[in-house]
Chains A and B, each alone.
Chain A
Amino acid sequence: DQQVKQNSPSLSVQEGRISILNCDYTNSMFDYFLWYKKYPAEGPTFLISISSIKDKNEDGRFTVFLNKSAKHLSLHIVPSQPGDSAVYFCAASGDDGGSQGNLIFGKGTKLSVKP
């Protein structure tokens, strides 16, 4: 039973446009959410996080939105660049000190940004 779901296995976007990656979760105990980018043969690279007390966090071209009532979060990349092409993972954690390191990952969305 997947607690973190990324329902779109792939997404293709034109360079310069917005990329929107979506993630749904089922466990209302999750208090922290993170997005990672992964290239083949490398470990995931941390992009941005958001705690449940916020509904938006921004870092440069990356913005994460959290809708707790819908148990949904999204990552917006504006403008998209060809170098953003990678697999993006959504992850969730219960921030109770005992399980911060237990990140539950979605299966990932492969983003392709076309020049």
Chain B
Amino acid sequence: KAGVTQTPRYLIKTRGQQVTLSCSPISGHRSVSWYQQTPGQGLQFLFEYFSETQRNKGNFPGRFSGRQFSNSRSEMNVSTLELGDSALYLCASSRDISWGYTFGSGTRLTVV
């Protein structure tokens, strides 16, 4: 059974650029959430999508955005990158919260 797939695994971008990260959830999972992990702040919720609609959003600036497609695949976009955006970005999908959210291996973004 395929897990949550995130691409790319590693990314280096320059300050001011924009980036798009991709997430393919487990088949049958309609809820997809995105998290940012940094050493100082830990795991922080970015946003959640369910059936192509953003259902919830964390406390991140508008430079962070996302979307979900009809096949449940999701993308997140960060515009005007800042050095502080360097982090591990994790995507998670779920069928139901009682089964937990399954996380992908993440995309390591480095902004230089």
List chain A positions with a Cβ less than 8 A from chain B: 32, 34, 36, 41-47, 49, 51, 89, 91, 93, 95, 98-108
Contacts and interface: CB of A to CB of B under 8 A. Distances in A.
Contacts of A44: 43, 90, 103
29 contacts: A36-B100, A42-B105, A42-B106, A43-B92, A43-B106, A44-B90, A45-B103, A46-B101, A46-B103, A89-B43, A93-B97, A98-B55, A99-B55, A100-B94, A101-B31, A101-B48, A101-B49, A101-B50, A101-B56, A101-B94, A101-B97, A102-B56, A102-B58, A103-B35, A103-B45, A103-B92, A105-B43, A105-B44, A107-B42
Contacts, number: 77
Given A41-B105, A49-B100, A101-B45, 4 more contacts: A43-B106, A44-B90, A103-B101, A105-B43
A103 B100 CA distance: 10
